[in-house]
A = this chain, B = another copy of it.
Amino acid sequence: MAELDKDTARLLGQYESAVFKKDVDAFMRLYDPAARVFDAWGVWSYEGAEAWQRAVEGWFTSLGSERVKVSFDDVTVWSANGLSSVSAVVTYAGQSADGQPLRAMQNRLSWVLRTVGHVPRIVHEHTSAPLGFDDQKAILVRDRGL
């Protein structure tokens, strides 16, 4: 993977950190107020940061004492003045309160980022897992050994 530009590297780090700390405020600061999120789970579209925040609060609360270690692979960036896009494979690895690895899951992730006042924020997120042709069930792990 080519070295990432500073803005993208910072954003990925902030996302990883906010999820690990289950810090809703830090997490939501990454999103534009008008963000449209196509999340992998249950809902077709979250329109606006308020709707998305309620889902994120539900996610973090559902974790109880567990934590989620996020990592990004195969990151690709397209950028222009004021708008950029990041795509990646993201791994969500659950840990128990004492740091023991639990289950892990992978998603494809696409972000569209708009830069306002020098800060790129997510205006569009799309996460998903590919579907098995036969059973229409999600294929939730790409990499063996997870």
Q: B-contacting residues of A (Cβ < 8 Å)?
A: 36, 38-45, 74, 76, 78-85, 87, 89, 108, 110, 112, 114, 123-124, 126, 128-133, 135-140, 142
Contact = CB atoms under 8 A, between A and B. Distances in A.
A74 B87 contact: no
A44 B83 contact: no
A40 B131 contact: yes
Main secondary structure of the interface of A (DSSP, over half): strand
B108 A110 contact: no
Nearest to A45: B108
17 contacts: A38-B108, A39-B130, A41-B131, A44-B130, A45-B89, A78-B112, A78-B114, A79-B83, A80-B81, A80-B114, A87-B112, A110-B126, A126-B126, A128-B131, A129-B131, A131-B138, A136-B137
Given A41-B131, A136-B140, A80 B78 contact: no
Contacts of A131: 40-42, 128-129, 138
The 10 closest A-B pairs by CB, nearest first: A128-B128, A80-B83, A38-B108, A80-B82, A85-B112, A110-B126, A126-B126, A136-B138, A80-B80, A44-B142
